[in-house]
Amino acid sequence: MLYIVPTPIGNLQDITLRALETLKSADAVLCEDTRRTQILLTHFGISKPTYRYNENDERSVERCLEALKSGKHCALVSDCGTPCISDPGWKLVRAARAAGIAITSLPGPSAVACALAGAGLTGGSFTFLGFLPRKAGKAAKLLTAAAQLKHPIVIYESPYRVVKMLELIAKTLGEQTPVVAARELSKVYEEYAQASAAELATQLSKKNKVQGEFVLIVDCFDSSSSTETTDDSTDF
């Protein structure tokens, strides 16, 4: 059985009871980085064999699959949040599914849902782009296509590239494009900053050092298509 187990994106108290139970009862934990996962397991007093799962190495996927086929219960985790969401895991899940192995995916922390809920833009649809390609041309194409849907666009970005990304958003979608930058979610210095893409790029570039992980939410919401204003259904 393969368990997909989300882990906290910052605050360790965000682990679910079911995630803890699953980690405790698994035969093995398949990790993106065994050292990072070991810190988490030690924090919760869990002693379990950990194995590195490297998505870019076919042999690694095969080894994990063999363990599952031999009847082992394996918990798949990533360094933070939900495995397979801008993180390794999907190749193993696909292979396990093809091999007829039972899979269950536990609900739990993910930066995309957390940031979107806190941004207060729209409760409807959104477009998740995750990490955009490094090449500006490719990233701009994706941004332009996504913006046409008029839904908020959610982007993952590192502190090293966030200013460049905001500049690209300003250049591609317009300097005044509203953006919410969610930083260090669930951690001590959690912060939401809301301004135009150009303004946020300027603010962040003035800092000596930009720190923390970011989720950028580009507000492409078209208020004319809001269900809040057009919904004429009857209340209970």
Strand order of the β-sheet with 28-31 is: 50-52, 28-31, 74-76, 2-4, 103-105
The residue among 151 and 183 lying less far from ligand SAM, judged by its C-beta, is 183
The residue among 184 and 199 lying less far from ligand SAM, judged by its C-beta, is 184
Q: How far apart are CA 130 and CA 86, in angstroms?
A: 6
Angle at 193 (CA atoms; ends 188, 197), nearest 5 degrees: 140
For residue 181, what are its two tokens? 């930058």
Least Cβ distance, residue 130 to ligand SAM (angstroms): 8
Least Cβ distance, residue 33 to ligand SAM (angstroms): 11
Least Cβ distance, residue 34 to ligand SAM (angstroms): 16
| Residue closest to ligand SAM, measured at CB | 81
For residue 90, what are its two tokens? 């999907």
The residue among 9 and 220 lying less far from ligand SAM, judged by its C-beta, is 9
The residue among 65 and 76 lying less far from ligand SAM, judged by its C-beta, is 76
The residue among 16 and 150 lying less far from ligand SAM, judged by its C-beta, is 16
E strand residue ranges, the chain: 2-4, 28-31, 50-52, 74-76, 103-105, 127-130, 153-157, 178-183, 191-196, 214-218
Least Cβ distance, residue 55 to ligand SAM (angstroms): 12
Which residues in this chain contact ligand SAM in the complex, by CB under 6 A?
9-10, 78, 80-82, 85-87, 110-112, 156-158, 182-187, 213-215
Report how far apart, in Å, the C-alpha atoms of 128 and of each of 55, 102, 217 are: 21, 27, 9
Least Cβ distance, residue 185 to ligand SAM (angstroms): 3
